[in-house]
Chains A and B, each alone.
Chain A
Amino acid sequence: MRVTNMLPDIQYQMQQSQQALASATQQVSTGLRVNQLSDDPAASANMVVSLASSANVDQYTSNVNSVLPRMQTADSAMSSIVTSLNSAVTLGTSGASSAILTANKQSISAEVQSVLASVISQANTSYNGVYVFGGSESTTPPFVAASTTYNSSQGSVATPLTTTTALTAGSLTTIGDATTGETMTFKAASGDTVATLQQAIASAVVAGTLSAGTSATINAQGQLSIGTNDASSGIVVTSNDIVLGTMAADPNTAVANAYAYVGNSSVNTVQVGDSLHVATNLPGSQLLTAGANVIGSLTSLINALQSGTDTQIGTATNAVSSALTYVGQQRVPLDSTISQLNSQDSYLSQEKITLTTQQDSLVGISLADAATNLSQAQLNNGAVLAAAAKVMPQTLLDYLK
């Protein structure tokens, strides 16, 4: 083949080798084999998926770190409740003795009241503003001193609420009953009125959720009044319905040593793994009022110590003892969750390493490989330039001089 001008080929080869050199230099400086999508489209696409997994793992880890101390706070509170109940059982046992004078029983009763206050305080434990035993109603204390009557802030003599007053669709009205230990939640549907709420309360009474005698009426001031006939127990009412306004306890109807639950039974969960969700709260009703009614048993013990017989005190003490066992059982799932969160934290740390390794293999390059590539590119570029320098100046004219 007749060769005339080698310059275009030399220029092309120099350009190619310089591109390779630039690419190798970029690999060394970035530590990445894939610096743009076109370098390896499949690896880039896999990188998108891997980065999303990585972001999830980071978030799961963050969730674990957020939820774990809350669960530990809850566990600590339950531990304190167990201690308080043990103390109450001891007090009850001593109070059940016929040798104890009535005055001393009153004194023991006061001590049990302190125990109850402590239990309530622990039950209203919050972590970073979240009440851990309130169900999904986690922004207000779940256990509130009970009263026999609650009145709405809306309604007056001039403009009274009536049974036909429409309620706000989606609004929630909650009635916690200290006697039954249960909570009725009424969610107003479109078209519901005060009468609908009255019917719902009546149905809850029939179902046993609320104590007999609990009802809703329009009082003389034109307000909605929700009350119970049980003067020794009481209820707590809340509502976010702007038609009713704030439900406030009648200050003259407070019931001593009676507390009702106004949280709900919902359990919020948080995702800490691709297919792992853990509960972030415990409904206080499940812990302290349902089953062996912890608060109710303490209230009974207080009442028994104040005015009951030794047998009644013994029975009440046994009830507190049963409640103690019940609370211990309730700690098991909580402890299990804490253990699960600790395990998941370790797993996520490992998973993060795995994903980082995967990402390195997808788009990264080892320093040794990058350095070798750079060295090779430098060598090639040097060879091309040397060859060009050798060949380009030579013509026949050089030899004819």
Chain B
Amino acid sequence: MSLNASLLTAVQALSADTGALQATNSNIANANTPGYTRKVAILQEAAPTNENNLSVGNGVVLEGYQSVRDELVQTQIQQETQAQSGANAQLSSLQQIQPTFTTSTQDIGTEMSALFSSISTLSTNPSSSSSRQAVLVAGQNLATAFNTASNTLTSQQAGLNTQVTQDVSQINQLTKQIAALNPQIAAMQAAGQDGGTLKDQQDQLVLSLSKLTNVSVTQSNDGVTLSTGNGTALVVGSKSFALQTATDSSGMTTVIDPNGIDITKSISGGDLGGTIQTRDTTIPGLLTQLNSLANQFASAFNNVQTSGTDQNGAAGIDFFKASGTATTISAGNITMNMTDPTQIAASTDGTSGGSGNLVNFSNVQTIAPAGGQTPGNAYASLVYQVGSLTSNANAESTATTSSLNQLNDQLSSVSGVSIDEESANLITYQQAYEAAARVVSTIQELFTVTMSMGTAAAA
């Protein structure tokens, strides 16, 4: 082997070590960059040459860089992120709903008890105008508690409409960015390059998308293809397909796919899925129970009221009514029908001091309607359901967070940057570089010796 060949081998080694140092440098620089995948320099032994039937190695060449990925774990992280974001969205809404159904003052249960207490107090002196007034006030307080609970739920629903719009807008931005990266990554891969940095960016964008909704991710020659849970394409190659929002007849914001089809019901997972689940299933379920309780309670009270006679001897009129033009009493519209305390139909015998009907009012508390629950038990069921839904969402959020941590650890064990490891690599490549440089220096000396052969200096 000639000195020139040896020098070339040493220079290749210097180049390879510099490249490896560059990879280490990049890894160290991005040690805390979210979504960064560590790079490794691909060093390969150069093809040997044969001289005089001797095979001589030609040193090392830097083949390129490779990002260390685990696509399976990456996919699992995306799926778990969808579940976590969905649970968090539900938890966030329920935590705002929960205080309305607390067991402290001014909730429905407390106001219900206060109304029954005021009626019981009236029974001790049915002619007392102050006791009669207290019943009216307690009735209005209960109606207000129903109104407040209903308003909290419907306001939450309205707020979630805004969230749906925002989520769809973010989804469209992300799919646009993801689609834009597809051809760049494909071009690099076609050129035999890793495309790691762009792939990292794309993975991060897909992860952000997973926080918003459930997406199906498939790889093709054109890059990633993304579609929603029902198969609606979001990204194909360099094209992205924007989702739209619309408002349905009940005032709810719906999600419309590029073909104009309402896909709201098929969306699950992610913040959007959790938001829609809360808005379209959880809250309506609670509202139905709440309205049923308000309606049954009002009907029971009205039945008792109209079966008795008031302080003036007249037949009782309804205790509660629906406000405005509504004909069916619900939690949102329940209000007092009476304003005059003498209209409370306490009596059954027509006397102003009779209290025979008050026991019937009290019985509303303990007698369950056919096939139903007592008002107190119905409210307790509602409280249990709100608590249980919140608790379950919290548990799911905690579980998915824990699971996500494990998956991230798993991904990090493959793709993450270890400062210790990179420090060791740094020393390794530095030493290799120094050794190669020493080889160059040695060859230079050999050249000098060779060039001075036969000269005085050589002698």
Contact = CB atoms under 8 A, between A and B. Distances in A.
Nearest to B401: A12
Interface stretch (B285-293, B299-307, B381-389): B381-389
Contacts of A134: 353
Interface in A9-31: 9, 12
A270 B124 contact: yes
Quick one: which of B116, B125, B309, B408 has the most chain A CB within 10 A? B125
Nearest to A70: B124
Contacts of B344: none
Quick one: which of A58, A59, A135 has the most chain B CB within 10 A? A59
B413 A396 contact: no
Interface residues of B, number: 73
Contact of B121 (A51, A52, A63, A274): A63
Nearest to B348: A266
A357 to B, nearest CB: 17
B359 A269 contact: yes
Contacts of B120: 59-60, 62-63, 270-271
B156 to A, nearest CB: 16
B354 A136 contact: yes
Contacts of A277: 359
A137 interface: yes
Contacts of B45: none
A139 B384 contact: no
A38 B387 contact: yes
Nearest to A4: B416
Nearest to B411: A4
Contacts of A139: 127, 352-353
A172 interface: yes
Q: Secondary structure at chain B's binding surface: helix, strand, loop or mixed?
A: helix
B124 A280 contact: yes
Contact of B103 (A1, A48, A66, A138): A48
A396 B423 contact: yes
Contacts of B391: 37-39, 41
Interface in B391-409: 391, 394, 401, 405, 408-409
A277 B390 CA distance: 42
A49 B352 contact: no
B46 interface: no
Interface in B104-130: 109-110, 112-114, 116-117, 120-121, 123-128
Interface of B: 31-32, 94-95, 98-99, 101-103, 109-110, 112-114, 116-117, 120-121, 123-128, 309, 312-315, 347, 349-356, 359, 362, 365-366, 376-377, 379-381, 383-388, 390-391, 394, 401, 405, 408-410, 412-414, 416-421, 423-424, 427
Q: Which 5 pairs show the lowest CB-CB distances between chains A and B?
A: A41-B387, A37-B387, A4-B416, A55-B113, A45-B384
